Amino acid sequence: MNKLLVIAATLGLLSSASIAVQASPQQDLKEFRAYFADRFPDVPFKDYVNGVYAIDQASREQWESIEEFPPYELNIDKGKKLFNTPFKNGKTYASCFRNGGIGIKQDFPYYDSATGKVVTLESAINDCRTKNGEKPLKWKKGPIADISAYMAYTSRGNKINVKIPAEEGALAAYERGKAHFYAKRGQLNMSCADCHQWNAGNRIRADLLSPALGHPSHFPVYRSKWGGLGTLHRRYGGCNKQVRAKPYKAQSDEYKSLEYFHTYMSNGLELNGPGARK
Ligand code: HEC
């Protein structure tokens, strides 16, 4: 009898374990939103696009006055010029994108079933170049950030609309990004979530930690610390380094997957890039 009970208990455990399926992206999104709504009950959902300034009234005014004469304005102009300058074959970037590349940032990143890869806006910009016989640009700053800033600018006000199709490859990329976000790493043994979810609104040294919700809405970002514009993956690298972890390469599958998860969590928020930060 005893033995039978043990077996039954074991079976019971096993069957409940196999029933426990992975949470779907939709469920994750619901929980993620609920967490922030509960943590910051006074912050309206649409305000999360402003990063730390959504939760910090004190620094918000200073930031708003910076945004009146935005430091990234020249970058948008440069990006526009680059975007419209023909390649050697006479074509332009417009030929590679839906709607000539105007107002389309909300579609990125997306999963491409044909290649089994996540496509980010920056990877699409470089794909466009190589397809047209041009050399790819460097990933983290410079011309690619300028072009990305211009494309982001033409998409301002559009709502982030990342899709996770019910396909093995798309779900795998999403899960990889989610795992990166919640995995502890580096000598400090901290995850993205440790700082930007569980401790959002708390201080780490001199910095107030921003909520992860809304993070991707305003990239690329002009940072005074960088003295220029940088892409989201440049920031990922910096945040990996903060915990003394080795950063991944910009546009590696790891960071593309992270961007896929991270941006999906911000679905429905308005794009307001490029942005300015400390
Ligand atoms: C040790 C704490 C810490 C960890 C861990 C960390 N960050 Fe950060 N992160 C910061 C600080 C500090 C800032 C600057 C203040 C702010 O905006 O939160 C920042 C800024 C950012 C920004 C820019 C926010 C904006 O509005 O422009 C992004 C995006 C970001 N982090 C993403 C991540 C991701 C993704 C991870 C995991 C790979 C991560 N961070 C891990 C501390 C951290």
Q: What is the dihedral of CA 99, 103, 105, 106, to 10 degrees?
A: -100
Cβ < 6 A, ligand 1 pocket? 51-52, 190, 192, 194-196, 204, 207, 209-210, 215, 221, 235-236, 239-240, 242-243, 258, 262, 277
Q: Whose CA is nearest to atom 15 of ligand 1?
A: 209
**What is the phi/psi pair of residue 212, to 5°?**
-65, -25
Q: For residues 140 and 237, is the Cβ–Cβ distance under 8 A?
A: yes
Ligand 1 atom having least distance to the Cα of 207: 12
Please report the sign of the dihedral spanned by the C-alpha atoms of residue 165, residue 169, residue 174, residue 178: positive
Residue type, 164: I
Tokens 């000539």 locate to 100
Structure token digits, residue 138:
């460097």
pLDDT tens across the length of the chain (278 residues): 444 444 444 444 444 444 446 789 999 999 999 999 999 999 999 999 999 999 998 899 999 999 899 999 999 999 999 999 999 999 999 999 999 999 999 999 999 999 999 999 999 999 999 999 999 999 999 999 999 999 999 999 999 999 999 999 999 999 999 999 999 999 999 999 999 999 999 999 889 999 999 999 999 999 999 999 999 999 999 999 999 999 999 999 999 999 999 999 999 999 999 999 98
Cis peptide before 220 (omega within 30 of 0): yes
Please report the sign of the dihedral spanned by the C-alpha atoms of residue 158, residue 160, residue 163, residue 169: positive
Please choose, from the candidates 261, 235, 227, 258, the residue with its C-alpha nearest in 3D space to the C-alpha of residue 139.
235
Q: Whose CA is nearest to atom 36 of ligand 1?
A: 192
Q: Which residues fall within 8 angstroms of residue 255, CB to CB, at 6 or more apart? A: 233, 236, 248, 249
Q: Whose CA is nearest to atom 31 of ligand 1?
A: 239
Q: What is the dihedral of CA 184, 187, 188, 189, to 10 degrees?
A: 20
